[in-house]
Chain A
Amino acid sequence: GDSVTQTEGQVTVSESKSLIINCTYSATSIGYPNLFWYVRYPGEGLQLLLKVITAGQKGSSRGFEATYNKEATSFHLQKASVQESDSAVYYCALSDNNYGNEKITFGAGTKLTIKP
Chain B
Amino acid sequence: DMKVTQMPRYLIKRMGENVLLECGQDMSHETMYWYRQDPGLGLQLIYISYDVDSNSEGDIPKGYRVSRKKREHFSLILDSAKTNQTSVYFCASSLGTANERLFFGHGTKLSVL
Contacts and interface: CB of A to CB of B under 8 A. Distances in A.
A38 B43 CA distance: 12
Contacts of B104: 38, 45-47
Interface residues of A, number: 24
Q: Chain B's interface: helix, strand, loop or mixed, by majority?
A: loop
B106 A4 contact: no
A101 to B, nearest CB: 8
Interface of A: 1, 4, 9, 34, 38, 44-48, 51, 53, 91, 93, 95, 97, 102-109
Interface string B24-67: 00000001000100001111010010100000001100000000
A102 B48 contact: yes
Contact of B107 (A4, A45, A106): A45
Nearest to A33: B99
B101 A103 contact: no
Contacts of A105: 42
